[in-house]
Amino acid sequence: MESEIFVAVRIAPSLASAPFDRLGESVKALKKAGASYVHFDLEDGVFVPMLSMGIKPIEDLRPLTDLPFDVHLMMVNPEWLLPDLIRIGADRISVHIEACEYPRRVLGKITSLGAEAGIALNPKTPLPDLEMLYPYLRFVTLLSTEPEEVDPPFLPSVLSKLEAGKAKYKSSALEWIVDGGIDKDNIGEVVAAGADIVVVGRAVFRGGLLHENMAALIAAAG
């Protein structure tokens, strides 16, 4: 039996930064390295100027691990994709409030299909009234980088939004995720600000040293 690794915050490595020629190998290694989720970013080239490879990698990688699949939809009108995503193995799905005219309806559809529903906010977007999204809302994803940049810097100002949200909704069971630009140098302050989950990409897969990088992140998280 593998010994469990204590992690002060749950880490969701983003496969957007993984080597695409070794995705399967990376996914199988993540649980042993201390990951809690596998994170996927799906872009449509409209809401953000990047374009993803679609949903087939999710389907192909699903049999390789029992880690939950956390899917971040960076696209307009995401409702049409939800049934297929959940059918092939998405466990948690976040949609952007900026891209959904009726976010409560979309979250309700995610929940009705059997997945956990989350709302994502770009750095410049203020916290909305989250109570209007009850009872479907399970988690909030705060982007801490600008999504239109290729290699964007971490924006520490987003931590103020995190702290405000945690304080305002402290009586709820909402989970708070910070996503973007997180590495061993700033993960400690993200955890201290109240993040329950952090999405980490480049800092996990840099140099092909997945296990070493995860160990450094876990140590720095406290």
Q: Tell me the C-alpha distance between 62 and 69, whole Å.
A: 8
Please give the angle made by the CA atoms of 69, 105 and 99, to the nearest 5 degrees: 70
Q: Tell me the C-alpha distance between 105 and 26, whole Å.
A: 35
> In the chain, where does DSSP find H-type helix?
23-33, 56-61, 82-87, 103-112, 158-168, 187-192, 202-205, 210-221
Q: Can you give the residue range of the structural domain that contains 72?
A: 10-221
> Three-state SS for 161?
helix
In a domain, 5, yes or no: no
The total of structural domains in the chain comes to: 1
pLDDT tens for the chain, 222 residues: list them.
455 666 779 999 999 999 999 999 999 999 999 999 999 999 998 998 888 888 999 999 999 999 999 999 999 999 999 999 999 999 999 999 999 999 999 999 999 999 999 999 999 999 999 999 999 999 999 999 997 667 789 999 999 999 999 999 998 899 999 999 999 999 999 999 999 999 999 999 999 999 999 999 999 998
In a domain, 4, yes or no: no
Q: Are 60 and 69 in contact (CB under 8 A)?
A: no
Q: What is the CATH number of the domain that holds 99?
A: 3.20.20.70
In a domain, 3, yes or no: no
Q: Are 123 and 155 in contact (CB under 8 A)?
A: yes
In a domain, 1, yes or no: no
So which residues are the catalytic ones?
41, 179
